[in-house]
Amino acid sequence: MPERTVTVASSVGLHARPAAVFVKKAKELPVPVTLAKEGGKPVSAKSMLQVMSLDVQHGDEVTVAAEGEGADVAVDELAGLLESDLDA
């Protein structure tokens, strides 16, 4: 299962708009994707409620993981989003 740990760049973390952008992209992907805060339990990256429940702040490290055919691409795309400022 491909996974990648990244630092969240958005100034407000994964709240409101940045979380919505992230979840929308995750829902477009054809593979199961999870997101986990360092030391925490993975949640579905396709669920706005679950992503918001992680309380991810600016500068937090999170791990994106995916399973199945195309998982590498999915992880790369979502990690790229997290590493950019989604507030801009």
Domain ranges in the chain? 3-82
Residue 15 annotated as catalytic: yes
Contact 11, 58 (CB under 8 A): yes
Diameter over CA atoms, the chain: 33
Alpha helices in the chain (DSSP H): 17-28, 48-53, 71-82
The confidence score (pLDDT) of residue 64 equals 98
Q: Is 69 exposed, middle or buried (0-12, 13-18, 19+ CB in 10 A)?
A: exposed
Q: How confident is the model at residue 19 (pLDDT cuts 50, 70, 90)?
A: very high
Q: How confident is the model at residue 75 (pLDDT cuts 50, 70, 90)?
A: very high
Predicted structure pTM score: 0.94
The confidence score (pLDDT) of residue 14 equals 94
Catalytic residue among 4, 15, 25, 58: 15
> Quick one: CATH architecture of 3-82?
2-Layer Sandwich (3.30)
Cβ-Cβ contacts under 8 Å for 6 (sequence gap 6 or more): 61, 62, 63, 64, 79, 82, 83
Amino acid at 5: T
Q: How confident is the model at residue 3 (pLDDT cuts 50, 70, 90)?
A: very high
